[in-house]
Amino acid sequence: MDKRGALMLAGMGLALAALSALWMFQGLGGGNRAFVLHLRGAKLAALVIVATAIGVATILFQTVAANRVLTPSIMGFDALYVLLQTALVAVLGGAGYVGLPAGAKFLAEIAVMSALASLLFGTLLLRGARDVPRMILTGVILGVLFRSVSGFLGRVLDPNEFAVVQAVSFASFNRVDTGLLPVAAGVTLLGAILAWRLSARLDVLALGRDPALSLGLRHQAVVLGVLALVAVLVSVSTALVGPVAFFGLIVAGLAHGLMRTARHAALLPAAALSGAILLVGGQWLFERQLGQAATLSVVVEFAGGLFFLYLLLKGRIR
């Protein structure tokens, strides 16, 4: 990695450390310190885990898709998650759903989502490789279809059951189950390390199918493996806090913009760091300064959508 890149990463690391310290220790009164620290620490951990998982997953996904406008959530992943939740409520009933043991449900969700997502992305990306925009549109419409089916199931259910589903349809960093954090952290860390180890191969993959094949890369195997990794990472994040829509797009854009290189060894850590800075900083801003805890995801969605349009108009879709 060149000097500029290394300095950039170091700078981001420092900024994150500073923000985290601010988050943890600001305004800490004399009261029940241990309790407050525990609460704050849990939320901080959740934010960093989500940022790492989504940041890394989006960079990987965009390399495989050869496209800087796509993200797993745009391709229908979020809607798939909501559909799964609705189906669970439909099958188990509201009480049964809420009564599921959190740890087991978390792991089961990750497993099922990973399998479904791998299938979804694999089909879309391998079949649609020659016509990217058509593939994007397919992914988006599939997302609409999943959401409509969720709505259908939701209506067919008892309205009380439906309220349970409603609650999980949007991301919330406020209702994180701290018991899940160790598992989530472990899976995310493993996933990130695995992605890092693949950096060199990912650089070759980014050249495109023909050059990668010519250089002797086992293209199909690598693509499917990376997609499975993406599916696991996105599943962990979604199971922890819910769907985060355009966040990945912003983070990937930031990473590319800041690092100005195509090397994954630089992009992957940059994505994780910039995502964490955005989330921790943003949550601090909204929760502590503006007193509006719930608006982070709405703002991210709005900003992300505008950024997407900007990329589209700039012709970055190729």
Partner 1 sequence: MIQIDHVSHRIGGAPILHDISTRLPKGQLTALIGPNGAGKSTLLRLIGRLEPLQAGRITVAGRDVGATPTDQLARVMAILGQQTAIASRLRLSELVAFGRWPHHKGRPCAADRAMVDEALEAFALAPLAGRFLDEVSGGQAQRAHIAMAFAQDTDWMLLDEPLNNLDMAHARALMRRLRDLVDNRGRSVGMVVHEINYAAAWADHVIAMKEGRILAEGPACDVLTETLLSQLYDAPIRVGLHEGRPLVLHHV
Partner 2 sequence: MRPLPALSSALAALMLASLTVGAAHVDLRGIFGDPQAMLVLLESRLPRTLAVALTGAALSVAGVLIQALVRNRFVGPDTSGTAEGAALGLLAITILWPASPLWLRMVAASLAAMGTTALFLAVIRRLPVREVMLVPIAGLVLSGVLGSVVTFVGWQTDLMQYVGTWLMSGEFSGVISGRYELLWIAAGAAGLAWYSADRFAILGLGEQVATGLGLSTAAVMRLGLAVVSVVTAMVVTTVGMIPFVGLVVPNLVARVMGDNLRASLPIVALAGAVLVLACDLAGRLVIRPYELPAGLILGIVGAVLFLWLLHRRPARG
By beta-carbon proximity to partner 2, the closer residue of 91 and 309 is: 309
By beta-carbon proximity to partner 1, the closer residue of 291 and 315 is: 315
By beta-carbon proximity to partner 2, the closer residue of 89 and 217 is: 89
- Residue 156 interaction partner, one of partner 2, partner 1, none, beta carbon < 5-8 Å per kind: partner 2
- For residues 142-171, which are near partner 1 according to CB under 8 A? none
User: In angstroms, what is the minimal distance from the CB of 65 to partner 1?
Assistant: 9
Q: Of 268, 91, 81, whose CA–CA distance to 192 is shortest?
A: 268
Stretch of 11-19, 98-106, 215-223, 245-253 contacting partner 1, by CB under 8 A: 215-223
By beta-carbon proximity to partner 2, the closer residue of 275 and 304 is: 304
By beta-carbon proximity to partner 2, the closer residue of 284 and 308 is: 308
- Residue 218 interaction partner, one of partner 2, partner 1, none, beta carbon < 5-8 Å per kind: partner 1
Could you give the C-alpha distances from 17 to 65, 181, 277, 306, in angstroms and in order? Answer: 33, 20, 9, 29
User: In angstroms, what is the minimal distance from the CB of 52 to partner 1?
Assistant: 23
User: In angstroms, what is the minimal distance from the CB of 208 to partner 1?
Assistant: 6
Structure tokens at 48: 């960093």
Stretch of 142-150, 187-195, 227-235, 256-264 contacting partner 1, by CB under 8 A: 256-264
Answer yes or no whether residue 216 interacts with partner 1 by CB under 8 A. Answer: yes
User: In angstroms, what is the minimal distance from the CB of 235 to partner 2?
Assistant: 23
> Binding residue for partner 1 (CB under 8 A) from 15, 93, 203, 298?
203
> With 0-12 CB in 10 A as exposed, 13-18 as middle and 19+ as buried, what is 69?
buried
Q: Cβ–Cβ contacts within 10 Å for residue 70, how many?
A: 26
By beta-carbon proximity to partner 2, the closer residue of 47 and 75 is: 75
Element (DSSP H or E) covering residue 60:
helix 33-65
Element (DSSP H or E) covering residue 293:
none
Which long-range contacts (C-beta less than 8 Å, at least 24 apart) are formed by 93-100?
93/161, 94/157, 94/158, 94/160, 94/161, 94/163, 94/164, 97/161, 97/164, 98/164
First to last CA, the chain: 26
By beta-carbon proximity to partner 2, the closer residue of 55 and 139 is: 139
Stretch of 62-70, 82-90, 107-115, 117-125 contacting partner 1, by CB under 8 A: 62-70
- Residue 145 interaction partner, one of partner 2, partner 1, none, beta carbon < 5-8 Å per kind: partner 2
Q: Can you tell me the distance from the alpha carbon of 64 to that of 58, in angstroms, rounded to the nearest whole number?
A: 10
Q: Of 80, 68, 82, 91, whose CA–CA distance to 118 is shortest?
A: 80
Helix locations, 99-218, DSSP H: 102-127, 132-156, 159-168, 181-197, 199-205, 209-214
- Residue 200 interaction partner, one of partner 1, partner 2, none, beta carbon < 5-8 Å per kind: partner 1
Answer yes or no whether residue 66 interacts with partner 1 by CB under 8 A. Answer: yes
Could you give the C-alpha distances from 311 to 14, 68, 84, 143, 215, in angstroms and in order? Answer: 29, 8, 31, 21, 30
Residue 135 backbone zone (phi > 0: left; psi -120 to 50: alpha; other: beta) = alpha
Chain residues binding partner 1 by CB under 8 A are: 66-68, 200-201, 203-204, 206-211, 213-218, 256, 260-262, 318
